[in-house]
């Protein structure tokens, strides 16, 4: 089928072009991370600049030398991982309970809660940074894990709640009734029937919250002052080069590559679990 193969090749070329365009910044950063400080700006043509002349891994090595106390990167990396995981876990649990109530029950103030959540999500985070800085210093939360986790929860919960409400609404109510008649307490029905069916929604919300916490720069830079709780995006801003006049471009690029990897793993892992149509066959029609 000539027409078929021609269409196929044209589509492939088109997709490759788009992919290249989209991935270019990332590939460029990978290439930067593999260059020595001296060769960062070398090269005249695009390809000379894109492909490193001497590939070196010393940028990566220097990030990890010195162990936790000396290395500029290990402590922030651990902070990022822990804070993102803790914030995601708490957010998912709270959002699941809230979304279940909103999807299933009719209680006074329900509309206000939803509107309030939406309003919070639309609120510009930057306008909260000043007051938070003051409040946290007074409360002793400055430069601590909770100091970052709380604002992360505030701004990611609305999104998580809305995602989960949409998923919970898709689950037929009769399934919980069947579970209740079968002998389950409401909590058992929730845990054994609803949550497995809402798994796609739970993982979607988890991915969204994790990415938000992991990539956040604003709160990290404003509410931390030391490696006690500084996360990677903020730590990158404090990298120092060989001398006062050189930018540690290679190091920053290497750190960026390392920081992107967990996200990719996280999303790939959970993406497999987002299987739509999980509730097919439960009820008729």
Partner 1 sequence: MSEITMNGITKRYSDGFEAVRDFDLDIEDGEFMILVGPSGCGKSTALRMIAGLEDITEGELRIGDTVVNQMAPKDRDIAMVFQNYALYPHMSVRENIAFPLKLAGVDQSTIDSKIGEVAKVLDLEPHLDRKPANLSGGQRQRVAMGRAIVRDPKAFLMDEPLSNLDAKLRVQMRTEVARLQSELGTTTVYVTHDQTEAMTLGDRVAVMRAGLLQQVGTPAELYENPANLFVAGFIGSPAMNFMPGRIEGDRLSLPVGEVPVPDSARGGGERQLIAGLRPETFEDAALAGDDRDRGVTFSAKVDLVESMGSEKYAYFSLGSEGVHSKELEELAADAGLEEIPGGGDQVVARLDAASEIKRGAEAELWVDTTKLHLFDPESGESLTSG
Q: Which residues bind partner 1 (CB under 8 A)?
A: 172, 174-175, 177-185, 188, 192-193, 196-197, 278-285
- Which residue, 272 or 284, has its beta carbon nearer to partner 1? 284
Closest to partner 1 by CB, 6 or 191: 191
Provide, rounded to whole angstroms, the least separation between the CB of residue 226 and partner 1: 47
Least distance (Å) from partner 1 to the CB of residue 153?
Answer: 29
Nearer of residues 150 and 184 to partner 1, judged by Cβ: 184
- Cβ atoms 50, 31 nearer than 8 A: yes
> Quick one: 25 or 285, whose CB is closer to partner 1?
285
Q: How far is the CB of 200 from partner 1 (least distance, A)?
A: 11
- The distance of closest approach from Cβ of residue 278 to partner 1 in the complex, given in angstroms and rounded to an integer, is 6
CB closer to partner 1 out of 184 and 258? 184
What φ, ψ does residue 134 adopt, rounded to 5°? -60, -50
The residue behind tokens 């822990």 is 82
Compute CA distances 256 → 45, 47, 92, whole Å: 25, 22, 27
Nearer Cβ to partner 1, position 70 or 174? 174
Smallest separation, CB 173 to partner 1 (Å): 9
> CB of residue 115 vs partner 1: minimum separation in angstroms?
23
CB of 177 to partner 1, least distance (A): 5
Whichever of 14 and 196 has its CB closer to partner 1, that residue is: 196
Q: Closer to partner 1 at the Cβ: 7 or 182? A: 182
Per residue, the 3-state secondary structure of the chain, as one string, reads: CHHHHHHHHHHHHHHHHHHHHHHHHHHHHHHHHCCCHHHCCCCCCHHHHHCCCCCCCHHHHHHHCCHHHHCCCHHHHHHHHHHHHHHHHHHHHHHHHHHHHHHHCCCCCHHHHHHHHHHHHHCCCHHHHHHHHHHHHHHCCCCCHHHHHHHHHHHHHHHHHHHHHHHHHHCCHHHHHHHHHCCCCHHHHHHHHHHHHHHHHHHHHHHHHHHHHHHCCHHHHHCCCCCCCCCHHHHHCCCCCCCCCCCCHHHHHHHHHHHHHHHHHHHHHHHCCCCCCCCCCCCCC
Least distance (Å) between residue 178 CB and partner 1: 4
């Amino acid at each position: 089928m000539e027409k078929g193969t021609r269409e196929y090749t044209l589509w492939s070329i088109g997709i490759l072009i788009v992919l290249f365009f989209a991935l270019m910044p990332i590939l460029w950063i990978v290439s930067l991370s593999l260059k020595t400080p001296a060769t960062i700006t070398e090269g005249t043509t695009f390809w000379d600049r894109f492909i490193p002349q001497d590939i070196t891994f010393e940028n990566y090595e220097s990030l990890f030398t010195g162990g936790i106390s000396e290395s500029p990167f290990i402590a922030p990396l651990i902070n990022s991982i822990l804070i993102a995981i803790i914030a995601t876990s708490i957010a998912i649990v709270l959002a699941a309970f809230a979304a279940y109530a909103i999807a299933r029950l009719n209680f006074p103030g329900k509309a206000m809660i939803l509107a309030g959540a939406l309003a919070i999500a639309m609120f510009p985070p930057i306008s909260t940074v000043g007051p938070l800085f003051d409040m946290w210093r007074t409360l002793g939360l400055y430069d601590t894990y909770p100091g970052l986790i709380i604002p992360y929860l505030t701004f990611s919960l609305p999104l998580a709640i809305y995602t989960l409400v949409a998923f919970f609404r898709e689950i037929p109510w009769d399934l919980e009734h069947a579970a209740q008649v079968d002998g389950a307490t409401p909590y058992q029905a929730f845990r054994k029937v609803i949550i497995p069916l809402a798994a796609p929604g739970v993982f979607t919300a988890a991915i969204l919250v994790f990415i938000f916490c992991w990539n956040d720069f604003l709160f990290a830079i404003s509410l931390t002052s030391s490696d006690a709780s500084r996360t990677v995006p903020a730590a990158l801003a404090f990298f120092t080069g060989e001398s006062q006049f050189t930018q540690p471009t290679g190091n920053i690029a290497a750190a960026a590559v390392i920081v992107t990897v967990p996200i990719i793993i996280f999303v790939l892992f959970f993406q497999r679990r987002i299987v739509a149509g999980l509730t097919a066959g439960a009820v008729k029609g």
